Amino acid sequence: MIVDGIPAALGWHGSWEQHRGGLWLEVPDLDVRSMATFMRENEVRLITMTVRPEPSGGYRFMYHWDSDGSLMTVVTIVTGGKIASIADILPAADWVEREIRDYYAVEFEGREGMKSLMLLEGDEPGLFSRTAGLGHDIDPADAARMQEGETTKEVDR
């Protein structure tokens, strides 16, 4: 697969930017299912997905791909707490999506009844979001079961 041709093949505006460990491209209206289908057909491997909260709300979703040794990161912003699942297209996404839900309570459309991966059965998803204001002296295992507002210690940056 020729990496340079991927943005045009998927109808994305712009081209890869090479910096800090790989190729990056931000795609505002990303159709993740078309991307996953294209990548699978062209033997591009999903490395993982990274999510982090945006200061203005919503989440920054990063899909990290490998094509013949080239590391590509496709970035999109997700608002509304929902994004389409790609796990039925690429099984490599199955555990990643479950883990993201565990940490940020993001819902993956098309995956009803999704089980948690890291958290215990019955634990509320969104561990990282729910405990964002907690300090380093809290055990994350306790934090998982802690109700919002029980601890007020702020992160000391």
Partner 1 sequence: MSIVPMGPYHPALEEPYKIDAICEGELVTGCNIQVGFNFRGIEWLAERKNYTQDLALFERVCGICSNVHTLTFSRAIENLAGLEVPERAQYIRVVVAEAERLHSHLLWAGVACELIGFQTLFMTCFALREKVMDVLEAISGNRVNYAMNRPGGVNRDILDPASVLEAVKAIADVTRTRLIPVMTTDATVRARCAGVGVLTREQAIAWGAVGPMARASGLPQDIRIAEPYEAYDRLSFDVPVLPDGDVFARVVVRALEILESCKIIEQALEQMPAGPFRGPDFPVIPAGEATARIEGPRGEVFYYVVSDGSDVPLRVRVRTPTFANMPTVQTMVKNQNLADVPLIQASIDPCYSCTDR
Which residues lie near partner 1 (CB under 8 A)? 20-22, 40, 43, 45-48, 50, 52, 62, 64, 66, 68-71, 73, 90-92, 94-95, 103, 116-120, 127-128, 131, 135-136, 139-141, 143, 155, 157
Provide the minimum distance between the beta carbon of 110 and partner 1 in the complex, in angstroms, as a whole number: 17
Within 10 angstroms of residue 86's Cβ, the number of other Cβ atoms is: 27
| Three-class secondary structure of residue 127 per DSSP | helix
Q: Please, which residue, 21 or 113, has the CB nearer to partner 1?
A: 21
CB of 44 to partner 1, least distance (A): 8
CB of 95 to partner 1, least distance (A): 6
CA 65, CA 30: separation in Å to the nearest integer?
15
Residue type at 73 in one-letter notation: T
State the nearest-atom distance from the C-beta of 48 to partner 1, in Å. Answer: 4
Closer Cβ to partner 1, 29 or 139, answer by number: 139
Is residue 102 within 8 A of residue 127, CB to CB? The reply is yes
Q: Identify which of residues 33 and 64 has a Cβ nearer to partner 1 in the complex.
A: 64
Instruction: Decide if 72 contacts 64 (C-beta within 8 A).
Output: yes
Give the nearer residue to partner 1 in terms of CB position, either 30 or 96: 96
Q: What angle do CA 59, 45, 27 make, to 5 degrees?
A: 35
Helix (H) or strand (E) holding 76: strand 70-78
Residue 31 exposed, middle or buried by CB count within 10 Å (0-12, 13-18, 19+): middle
Nearer to partner 1, 5 or 135 (CB): 135
**Smallest distance from partner 1 to CB 106, Å:** 15
